[in-house]
Every structure is written in structure tokens, then in C-alpha cells.
Structure 1
């Protein structure tokens, strides 16, 4: 079976996790965002924001985790898998920070491909900050622009999901697949 890998991307606080959680409740195979897990583990070790303190280490951990997710998703016995963020997100965040990353990051983006990308735009009305999300809304909007630039660099056609109810956003996505 050729499993379709479908990404849900967007800046922080755009509603990705809410959509993934709802798709999971509807019975779809979904993979969660792993950056919160990486951030939480670092916080347990006394590092408040690993991405801010050591962006390359944080990004390497994310890259490894997202490659594992990709490999696992490809082997699912289902028609499609929804994934909260993809490998190019790692590069987009490094571009946002203005930091260097090794060539293997770029190679990972070229070797691990996705079938469809749904982009959630910045939405101030639903944006919230928490212990793992350090960015303010302006920064989230800037990250959004880096995501577009990075994914387009790798030849992806981004489908923007309208700002709407969770149910309508899911229906929009399912109708586009």
C-alpha cells in the first residue's frame, strides 16, 4: 500500500495540534508534533528553552525525530497519515533564527518527501502562549513566512486552510485530498 503522507504545518498557535487531535478522534492515523516533547525533556534537565539556548542541538533532535516519524508513517497500513509538521519545518526555524545547519538537514528534506501540505495561517484570535511556546504572535507570523519560503524551495504546493471552525477546517482538508 502506498500511504499518503499529509502534513499540517503553520506557525506556532495556528491550530495544528487541535486539528491533528480532532482527526485522531475521527479515526485517522495521526502523528503529533514532537518539538514539545523535546522542549519538555530539556526543561526537565533545567534548560528553559533549548531552541533559544542551543538551536542546532534542538534542531538535530527534531530532525532525528521527524525522520523517524516519516519512516514510520511510510510503513503504516492505511491510506493516509496526517503529520503535525515535517522535516522542512526544522530548516524554516533555523532560517528564522538565522543559524547555520549542516548539509544533512537539506539532504533529509530531499530524501523524505510528503504528498500534500496543508498550511494554517497565523490567526491572532486563537493564538495562545504557554510554557513550551515562547514566541509571541508577531514572531509566529514571521515563522509562517519562513515556512512558506522553505517548503516552496523544496517544490511543495502549499494549500492554505481557511480560518474557520475546527470542523470546517477538517472538511476543507478532507475535500482537498
Structure 2
């Protein structure tokens, strides 16, 4: 059985990570976001915000970790595997900052393909800044736009997940997947 690779993405403060955790609690297989680990690793080395200090290095590490996650799908026998962000998120953030990145970033995004992409819009009601989330809500809205454009640029159809409870959002995604070959 081929496992379907499903990306759930969205700007900061969209409820994406909560939705991923909800799906996991409901016994779905998920691979969690790796950017916080990359950030915390850099902080242990004395770099407060690697993404702001050296965005290319941060993004390279992030892309490498997401590519590892992509290959981890080969170890799953479940019909669906959810990813908390995908590789095109990396180039979307670089585009948001207007930073030129190595061509291999785009090549990797084009070569390794996901089956479906779901994007959550930023939600002001639940938005909070923290140690790893330094963007303002206005920036989160712009990032959301860049994420959608990035995935579309790689040829994906992006499905917008409406606001709602975690169950409503999960049901929206699961119902869509149930009716899509």
C-alpha cells in the first residue's frame, strides 16, 4: 500500500500545530514540524534566532530535515501520513523575506512530491507570539500568501481549511481525502 503524503501548512498562528496534534490523538500518523528543533539547536550554540541571523543556513537545515521526513514515509504502512509543513514552506519563507536561495532548494521541492496540500489561514483570535514565533499578525498574513503561492508554483492544488473547531477542521480534511482517489 502506498502511503499518501498530506501536508498541513499555514502561517504562524493558524492553529496548524494544534490540528496536527489533534489528528495524532485520533490515531492518525503524523510527522511534526522540525523548525523549533532547528531553532533550539542553534540557541544551544548561542545563536538566538538562526533564521534571522543566517536564513540560508537555517533554511538548508530545515530542508534537510523535511527531506528526511519525506523519506520516513517509506517506513509507514498507514494509508495517510500527515506532515506539519512541507519542503515548499522553506522557499515560501525565503520568498517572503526576498532572499535568494540556492537552486537546489527549488529542485528538491520539485523532485519530492506530496499528494495533497491543506493550508490554514492565520487566525487573529488564536494568534500568539512566543520565543520561536516572532512574526506579527500582519506578517503572518503575508506568510500565508507566500505559502499558498509557493505550493501553487510547484504545481500543487492548495486546499484552504476553514476556521472552526479542531474537529471541524480535521473532518474537513478527512472528508476531502475520503472522496479523493
Structure-2-length-normalised TM-score: 0.96
Matches within 5 A, 1:2-41: 2-41=2-41
RMSD: 0.8
Distance 2:120 2:154 in 1: 18
Report the alpha carbon displacement of residue 74 of structure 1 after superposing the two structures with TM. 3.6
Report the alpha carbon displacement of residue 122 of structure 1 after superposing the two structures with TM. 1.2
Report the alpha carbon displacement of residue 78 of structure 1 after superposing the two structures with TM. 1.0
Distance 2:100 2:74 in 1: 29
Q: Deviations over 1:4-45 (max 9, x none)?
A: 000000001101110110111111110000001101111121
Q: Is 1:76 matched up with 2:55?
A: no
Report the alpha carbon displacement of residue 159 of structure 1 after superposing the two structures with TM. 0.7
- Counterpart in the other structure of 2:152: 152
Report the secondary structure of 2:14's partner residue. Answer: coil
Instruction: Please identify, of 108-117 and 41-50, the stretch whose mean Cα deviation from structure 2 is larger.
Output: 41-50
Q: Deviations over 1:109-146 (max 9, x none)?
A: 11110001111011100111110111111111111111
Report how many residues are paired: 177
Instruction: Please identify, of 57-66 and 74-83, the stretch whose mean Cα deviation from structure 2 is larger.
Output: 74-83
Structure-1-length-normalised TM-score: 0.98
Structure 2: unaligned runs, 5 residues or longer: none
Q: Is 1:97 matched up with 2:62?
A: no
Distance 2:84 2:140 in 1: 16
- Counterpart in the other structure of 1:120: 120
Q: Deviations over 1:72-129 (max 9, x none)?
A: 0243111010000000000000001111111110110111100011110111001111
Structure 1: unaligned runs, 5 residues or longer: none
